[in-house]
Amino acid sequence: MASTIQCEVVSAEKAIYSGVVEMVIAPAVMGEIGVAPGHTPLLTQLEPGPVRLILKGGEEDIFYVSGGMMEIQPRVVTILADTALRANDMDEAEAVKAKERARDALANKQTDIDYTAAAAQIAEAAAQLRTLQKIRKKLNR
């Protein structure tokens, strides 16, 4: 059995990553899923959160996805994300501000607020912050 698998991470705007990895760990709707070479074919929806790619030699690359789909085939994993960001493209201060703005909007209980959209904004900002925390932990090892 092969020890690597091809991985493609694509957002609505552009291709984010294309390369060979030892494992993909992603936030599926049924929980975090690890995909190694030879994994059973699967199509699953992704939740907002970090996607971790274990590269050859054990190095790790982390991305944020805001949701989307992941297709697993015997030799390739494809992540089609609504939004995908590399660690270098993420702004922690902006994520904190977005989370606070959405919480404030919910707390004010104005009649013209879209509660579903505000809750989604909080969830997305929280997922971005979790991704940044994972990156920070990786760098502090």
Average pLDDT, the chain: 81
Spatial CA neighbour of 65 closest among 43, 54, 80, 44: 80
pTM: 0.69
Mean of pLDDT values over 66-80: 94
| Structure tokens given for 8 | 């493609």
CB distance 65 to 83 below 8 Å: yes
What are the structural domains, with CATH classification, of the chain?
Answer: 5-87 (2.60.15.10), 90-139 (1.20.5)
Residue 38, classed as helix, strand or coil, is coil
**Cα-based torsion angle of the residue sequence 39, 43, 49, 52 in order, rounded to the nearest 10 degrees:** 20
For residue 2, pLDDT over 80 is answered with: no
Cα separation of 69 and 93, whole Å?
A: 28
Cα–Cα–Cα angle for 82, 87, 93, rounded to 5 degrees: 90
Q: Which pLDDT tens digit goes with each residue over 77-132?
A: 999 998 888 766 656 566 566 667 666 766 766 556 676 776 666 677 777 777 77
| Structure tokens given for 24 | 């993909």
Cα separation of 62 and 92, whole Å?
A: 15
Q: At what angle do helices 92-108 and 115-139 cross, to 10 degrees?
A: 150
pLDDT band of residue 48 (cuts 50, 70, 90) is confident
Spatial CA neighbour of 26 closest among 62, 1, 50: 50
CB distance 44 to 70 below 8 Å: yes
